[in-house]
Structure 1
Amino acid sequence: MKQLILYSRTGCCLCEGLESRLRDLDLLGLSIELTVIDIDASGTPQELKARYDLEVPVLALDGSELPRVSPRLTGEGLLNWLQRCLSTAL
């Protein structure tokens, strides 16, 4: 199973919107597990906060950052974008 990480923060409308749209997809059907990391949460390594502080939301697939996703992509468009990212990651 592939690991999709969403680097996010509380109160970030783009982060919350992307998380919601990702959760609406059938990620398990693509063998993808979504993990959300709040970069401001206590216990989050300082280097993650420093790296993503001005960049969230950021997606990483199996440790590799993905291109920035358009906030306008929803449903099938987001699914197609994710599938293209998967095919180039192979």
Structure 2
Amino acid sequence: MSHVRLILYSKPGCHLCEGLQEKLEQIQSLDLELEVRDITTRQDWFQAYQYEVPVLFLDRGLEQGRVEGTEEHSTCNIQDLKSLSSPSLTPLPRFSPRATVQQLEQMLQKYLPNDRRE
């Protein structure tokens, strides 16, 4: 089983965010590490994602032998977040709230490198 790190930008009271988080936590065929970032805790995150949450990223830092830390992101501005200047973060498409856990898992598999797939 491959280790996959995902970053979910979310906000309190967002039922779409909570639903996606619950489904991601139910996926068992992937070793998922899910970091949930509350956009209300940082002005740059809030301005970038207030109308777009939930927003999900695949962190490819593990592939490159490093993990992107929150500290590194604390220095980025809104343009960095929107343009994804961090080369290890790959935006994932918005998932349908009606997608099942199995469908979500299958969609995630498409974005993993071949060596990470089962």
TM-score, structure 1 normalization: 0.82
Higher gyration radius (CA): 2
Segments ≥4 residues shifted beyond 3 Å:
none
Q: How many residues align?
A: 84
Label 1:70 to 1:87 Cα distance change in 2 as closer, same or farther (>3 A).
farther
Unaligned runs of at least 5 residues, structure 1: none
Task: Give the match's secondary structure for 2:40.
Answer: coil
- SS in structure 1 opposite 2:6? strand
- Say which structure, 1 or 2, has more relative contact order (CA 8 Å, 6+ apart): 1
Percent same amino acid at aligned positions? 46
1:57 maps to 2:54: yes
Gaps of 5+ in 2: 60-88
Find the partner of 1:9 among 11, 29, 43.
11
CA-atom RMSD, angstroms? 1.8
Match of 2:66 in 1: none
* Inter-partner Cα distance in structure 1 for 2:10 and 2:54: 5
Quote the offset at 1:86 in angstroms.
Answer: 1.6
Partner of 1:78: 104
